[in-house]
Structure 1
Amino acid sequence: MLTLGKIDHIHIRVADLKVALDWYGRVLGMGIDTRYHPIQEDHGVTMLANPSGSVRLALGEEAGTGNVPGTVAFSVGGQDFLAWIDSLAGQRVRDNKGETIARDSVRDHGFFCSLSFVDPFGNPFEIVSYDHTWLAAKLKLNGRSAH
């Protein structure tokens, strides 16, 4: 049976990034995680972390945020990441565009890989692995970012 390693990060939509950065810093003691800086502009998120790096939130600025669910991202090792792809594909799980998950659904973020999907109610989830070099070779990513 497949298992999830841990929650890697949670995506949270905010109406005003500047206000959110101030609030999360002041109230929760979280600051910008500079390791994610190269992908922040491309993906429209700002990754925050607590001082130990054990809690991460991906803030995305989006006007009109309301009862829109945030994405919960789980972290797994490389072997488990491949097994999750195959399991989700075998169960015909879909991404947010309605396409069935497959190996070409993997996104290459340069130092980690991710796979996004939704439950039957549209709640978004993501599985990530930081075994990037190994996965990039196995999946023949060569820097490509699917979807």
Structure 2
Amino acid sequence: MLTLGKIDHIHIRVSDGAKAAEWYDRVLGLAPDARFKHMQEGPHSAMMLANPSGTVRLAVSEEPGAGCLAGAVAFVVSGQDFLEWIDQLAGERVLNRDGQTIARDSVHDHGFFCSISFVDPFGNPFEIVSYDHTWLSGKLKLKRQPA
């Protein structure tokens, strides 16, 4: 049986490519990957943004009126990194889907993992997830909310 290796990239549509590139770099640490510069030209152009290790890539294309994926792109991190991401997102005044600024009380307790949901300036939804649930429950004093 054939199996998939890993996700190569997630394609994100935005209405302003320059604004998106600045936001993704400043907030998520994803910068243009020079190896994919040739993809920025032509009718199906996209700017490939990547983290420094190249393990996370987003192909961002500019389309008038674009934004708002149907689902969310979720990134997994350690418990300690999860806390740091909450602070990073809060410091950047990143909003959740309800238009509220991310804060430590924005964490969703799913019983065996925790998540924080947010949107980019174009309404595309993202999540940061950690499976270090027990450790985070103690640090954040989480109380599981009913489903």
TM-score (norm 1): 0.52
Match of 2:120? 119
2:119 is aligned with 1:129: no
2:87 is aligned with 1:86: yes
Partner Cα distance (1:104, 1:135) in 2: 12
Cα offsets for 1:47-94 (capped at 9, x unmatched): xxxxxxxxxxxxxxxxxxxx8432000000000000000000000000
Partner Cα distance (2:70, 2:89) in 1: 21
Match of 2:143? 142
- For the residue of structure 1 that corresponds to 2:137, the secondary structure is helix
2:101 is aligned with 1:100: yes
Cα distance, 1:114 vs. partner?
Answer: 0.3
Partner Cα distance (1:103, 1:142) in 2: 13
Residue identity opposite 2:102 in structure 1: I
TM-score (norm 2): 0.52
Contact 2:69 2:125 in 1 (8 A): no
Partner Cα distance (2:127, 2:89) in 1: 12
RMSD of equivalent CA atoms:
2.2
Cα distance, 1:143 vs. partner?
Answer: 2.1
Partner Cα distance (2:140, 2:99) in 1: 22
Partner Cα distance (2:121, 2:134) in 1: 32
Partner Cα distance (1:142, 1:88) in 2: 22
Cα distance, 1:113 vs. partner?
Answer: 0.1
Partner Cα distance (2:138, 2:69) in 1: 36
Partner Cα distance (2:144, 2:122) in 1: 32
- For the residue of structure 2 that corresponds to 1:96, the secondary structure is coil
Cα distance, 1:116 vs. partner?
Answer: 0.1
Match of 1:17? none
Equivalent pairs counted in the alignment come to 82
- For the residue of structure 2 that corresponds to 1:116, the secondary structure is strand
